[in-house]
């Protein structure tokens, strides 16, 4: 199975993000139900590895915290924008949680994640979308700020890649204290 660890977002926040989406012809906007903030991509693992990962994640003890989403930005590949996202304030609690998850996954036998953590919620995948349209969207929405939301858990998701987009299934929720 293909797994990742993420913050699932309350429905009200997903709806708020959905209101941001639009006005970029050719962008592949993520359906509101799929909005999440990835804490760690895991990838394809065996059932036995998934069980180790679950045990390791279940041992994390951290308090609840408030997540604040603000601003929009893009990732690029080969100097073309490839994804459009809403950012998250890089606060201590979020960074701490991400660090604990990384350590837990290493204990479960995964190789270290080499990429820097850039907390974000992907709004759209972009390919061959005119850069000028993307720049206009970013300028227009950059002052976006959502009211902080209390995060009371994090989630191990499975992901099935399909031609019409990915199907994400919450497999296990881990409570924050």
Between residues 38 and 68, which has the closer beta carbon with respect to ligand 3AM? Answer: 38
Closest by Cα among 97, 132, 104, 102 to 114 = 102
- Least distance between ligand 3AM and beta carbon 75 (Å): 8
| Position 122 contacts ligand 3AM (CB under 6 A) | yes
Which residue stretch of 35-43, 66-74, 99-107, 140-148 sits at the interface with ligand 3AM (rule: CB under 6 A)?
Answer: 35-43
| Position 38 contacts ligand 3AM (CB under 6 A) | yes
- Is 55 one of the annotated active-site residues of the chain? no
Closest by Cα among 88, 89, 90, 87 to 72 = 87
**CA dist list (Å): 93 to 96, 98, 149, 164:** 5, 9, 13, 35
| Position 127 contacts ligand 3AM (CB under 6 A) | no
| Position 159 contacts ligand 3AM (CB under 6 A) | yes
- Least distance between ligand 3AM and beta carbon 125 (Å): 8
Cα distance between the two ends of the chain: 28
- Least distance between ligand 3AM and beta carbon 66 (Å): 20
| Position 117 contacts ligand 3AM (CB under 6 A) | no
Beta-carbon contacts of 91 under 8 Å, excluding residues fewer than 6 positions away, are 65, 66, 68
Between residues 11 and 41, which has the closer beta carbon with respect to ligand 3AM? Answer: 41
Count of CB atoms situated within 10 Å of the CB of 4: 17
Closest by Cα among 89, 94, 115, 112 to 102 = 112
- Least distance between ligand 3AM and beta carbon 177 (Å): 25
Footprint of ligand 3AM on this chain (CB under 6 A)? Answer: 4, 38, 41, 43, 122, 159
């Amino acid at each position: 199975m293909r797994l990742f660890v993420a913050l699932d977002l309350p429905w009200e926040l997903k709806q708020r993000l959905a209101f941001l989406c639009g006005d970029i012809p050719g962008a592949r906007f993520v359906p509101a139900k799929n909005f999440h903030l990835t804490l760690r991509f895991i990838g394809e693992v065996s059932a036995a590895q998934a069980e180790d990962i679950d045990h390791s994640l279940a041992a994390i003890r951290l308090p609840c915290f408030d997540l604040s989403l603000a601003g929009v930005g893009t990732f690029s590949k080969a100097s073309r924008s490839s994804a459009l996202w809403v950012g998250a304030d890089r606060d201590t609690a979020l960074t701490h949680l991400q660090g604990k998850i990384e350590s837990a996954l290493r204990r479960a036998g995964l190789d270290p994640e080499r990429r820097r953590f850039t907390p974000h919620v992907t709004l759209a995948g972009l390919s061959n979308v005119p850069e000028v349209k993307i720049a206009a969207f970013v300028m227009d929405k950059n002052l976006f700020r959502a009211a902080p939301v209390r995060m009371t858990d994090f989630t191990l998701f499975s992901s099935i890649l399909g031609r019409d987009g990915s199907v994400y299934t919450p497999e296990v929720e881990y409570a924050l204290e």
